[in-house]
Chains A and B, each alone.
Chain A
Amino acid sequence: MDLSFKMVIDLLPIYVTIQDQDLRYIFANQTFRNDFGDVFGQHCYAVVKGSQERCQQCPVQKTLTDKKVHTGEGTIRLPGGNLQQVVLYTTPILDVMGNVTAVIELATNIQIIKEMYKELIFLGQSIALLSHDIKNILEGLQGGVYVVDEGLADNDMKLAGKGWQVIKKNIAEITRVTQNILYSSKNRQPRLQKSSPVKLAREAVDLFQAKAGSLGIQLISSLNPELPGVAVDAVSISRLLNNLIWNALEACSKDLQKRRHTVIVRADFYDTRHFMFEVEDDADGMEPRILDNLFNQFFSTKGAAGTGLGLVVVDRIVHSHGGKIEILTKTRKGSLFRTIFRLSTTIDMPVQDLESMDALNLQKGDA
């Protein structure tokens, strides 16, 4: 077998490049050229970052400066626009005087490892959040049982009835938590069917009227009856709305600064080709730093207190439909969660194919 060193380097399943002192490519192996084309003479930051300026944290520049091997992690942009996380190693090429003339850079794709890392952290966070939720629900159930027992012991059916309401409320809570666990535990494909956004929003609002009333919160809806039917996974969208409304009601119930609270649920056109749901509260709002990491927190830090799994599920549902979440918030003013979806079809699939999609999902047994 006739293998030259160049052939081996070309075939390595990692990016191998050499850059000169001006950060221009003077060599790239075949793997790199397959993804980025002929880059000879081009600046590295233009090719892999799409930028006109040098990167601030650049191991190549460090190696050029101190002649040492450096490592780092970074994100590169493929020509199609997809981002890829890589780990980088750089090593200097020295001339006879010991000066750095160029730098060899190896870049290995670690996207899969990062995804696994995120999933593991998500799992850990989920368990921590669930433990907290379940503990609260169990305490609620115990309290309800105690009140029922007292009522029965004293033959006080009114008291027993109050205890029973507490038990029913906590059963509803554990149902919600369990549904969220099931939803977030696997990558669920949307089961598209023609649905009315107005009907879905109205049902969600009706579901929470009793809870809102018991908390003294006004829950009102503003639904545009002209919204047409859309192709969405109705079960998922209902869950999305339920989670957003539940979060809004919880935020209001915890805000002791105001006597009265209002939660508004809207379903309307966003523009001529998109529709939106909005859930707005006048609770305590969020700090900007929490907002910036609202969905990432579950993956990277301690999690946003009080939001539970609900927002993770909302995030997954929106992304599985090719939609977008926008959030407005201000401390002491409240928050607005807006989800935007396409009107025509919510994923790249003609509406007439929805029946076959349903059949496919049913065959897979995807609950």
Chain B
Amino acid sequence: MGGSIVYKNILFCTDFSNDAHMAFVHALDLSRKYRAKLYLLHIISSQNPCSTSSETSHTPVSSEEPSDESERQMQQQALKAMIKQYVNELDEQDDYDIQVRTGSPDIKIIQFARQFQIDMIVLGAQGRPEKDRRIFIHTAANVSKFAPCQVIAIRSPRNQGTDTETAL
């Protein structure tokens, strides 16, 4: 019969929404439980989504030059926001990596999952309210359907009760 489940790399994706905050709690808990590396990823919208995309990392693994200075600044701001929001919460979770990328969130999350051999993706189910969103694609649904690994989409208690959706 099958052995125990092992998660080596867990990816938490955030858009700084309520759902994402709840997803972070789950991702951190799972990372500690399985002693997995926790990747924290935020995707920012591109100034020009029809051109090439770029990425920035806290501990650089691979990088492409942002297409312009404003995009570089946006990435740095997002990176700072990530560090401010999450690093203090990580406590004893030493094995982590914070990254920011630019482009369509579903595409970038799935590319990231393939690149870093992610075993599980944890993200918010609904994301930010529509009026605060910059990109209008169905990120959680698309990641759940097309990701190469398990996906947990978390709904915050503030958003219609608590429930968790898992897609394999």
Interface residues of A (CB under 8 A from B): 50, 268-272, 274, 276, 288, 322-324, 326, 328-330, 333-334, 336, 338, 340-342
Q: List residues 15-69 of chain B with CB under 8 A from any CB of chain A.
A: 45, 49-51, 65
When distances are taken between beta carbons in the complex, the residues of chain B under 8 Å from A330 are 145-148
Partner of B136, one of A50, A270, A334: A270
* Listed A/B pairs (30) with beta-carbon separation below 8 Å: A268-B136, A269-B136, A270-B135, A270-B136, A270-B137, A271-B134, A271-B136, A274-B49, A288-B114, A322-B50, A323-B50, A324-B49, A324-B50, A326-B107, A328-B106, A328-B107, A328-B110, A328-B145, A328-B146, A330-B145, A333-B145, A334-B145, A336-B142, A336-B145, A336-B146, A338-B104, A338-B137, A340-B50, A341-B50, A342-B50
When distances are taken between beta carbons in the complex, the residues of chain A under 8 Å from B65 are 50
When distances are taken between beta carbons in the complex, the residues of chain A under 8 Å from B146 are 328-330, 333, 336
Q: List residues 62-94 of chain B with CB under 8 A from any CB of chain A.
A: 65
When distances are taken between beta carbons in the complex, the residues of chain A under 8 Å from B51 are 324
CA distance A50 to B67 in the complex (A): 13
CA distance A338 to B107 in the complex (A): 10
CA distance A270 to B50 in the complex (A): 11
When distances are taken between beta carbons in the complex, the residues of chain A under 8 Å from B106 are 328
When distances are taken between beta carbons in the complex, the residues of chain B under 8 Å from A270 are 49, 135-137
CB of B167, distance to nearest CB on chain A (Å): 10
CB of A138, distance to nearest CB on chain B (Å): 37
Known: A50-B65, A271-B134, A272-B134. A328 touches B50 (CB 8 A): no
Residue of A nearest to B135 (CB): A271
Chain A residues touching B, majority SS? strand
Residue of B nearest to A322 (CB): B50
The contact string, 1 if C-beta is below 8 Å from chain A, for chain B 99-114, is 0000010110010001
CA distance A272 to B130 in the complex (A): 12
Chain B residues touching A, majority SS? loop
Q: Are A271 and B50 in contact (CB under 8 A)?
A: no
CA distance A324 to B107 in the complex (A): 13
CA distance A324 to B50 in the complex (A): 5
Q: Are B104 and A326 in contact (CB under 8 A)?
A: yes
When distances are taken between beta carbons in the complex, the residues of chain B under 8 Å from A342 are 50
CB of A314, distance to nearest CB on chain B (Å): 15
When distances are taken between beta carbons in the complex, the residues of chain B under 8 Å from A272 are 134
CB of A72, distance to nearest CB on chain B (Å): 24
| Inter-chain pairs besides A271-B134, A274-B49, A340-B49, 8 sampled, C-beta below 8 Å | A270-B49, A270-B136, A288-B114, A324-B51, A328-B142, A329-B146, A333-B145, A336-B142
Q: List residues 138-155 of chain B with CB under 8 A from any CB of chain A.
A: 142, 145-148
When distances are taken between beta carbons in the complex, the residues of chain B under 8 Å from A334 are 145
When distances are taken between beta carbons in the complex, the residues of chain B under 8 Å from A326 are 104, 107
CA distance A44 to B147 in the complex (A): 40
CB of B96, distance to nearest CB on chain A (Å): 26
When distances are taken between beta carbons in the complex, the residues of chain A under 8 Å from B147 are 330
CB of A275, distance to nearest CB on chain B (Å): 9
Residue of B107, B137, B142 ringed by the most chain A CB atoms within 10 A: B137
Residue of A nearest to B110 (CB): A328
When distances are taken between beta carbons in the complex, the residues of chain B under 8 Å from A288 are 114
CB of A17, distance to nearest CB on chain B (Å): 24
Residue of A nearest to B114 (CB): A288
When distances are taken between beta carbons in the complex, the residues of chain A under 8 Å from B136 are 268-271
CA distance A271 to B142 in the complex (A): 17
Q: Are A271 and B114 in contact (CB under 8 A)?
A: no
Residue of B50, B110, B134 ringed by the most chain A CB atoms within 10 A: B50
When distances are taken between beta carbons in the complex, the residues of chain A under 8 Å from B49 are 270-271, 274, 324, 340
CA distance A274 to B45 in the complex (A): 11
When distances are taken between beta carbons in the complex, the residues of chain A under 8 Å from B104 are 326, 338
Residue of A nearest to B133 (CB): A271
CA distance A269 to B49 in the complex (A): 13
When distances are taken between beta carbons in the complex, the residues of chain B under 8 Å from A336 are 142, 145-146
CA distance A268 to B137 in the complex (A): 9
CB of A164, distance to nearest CB on chain B (Å): 40
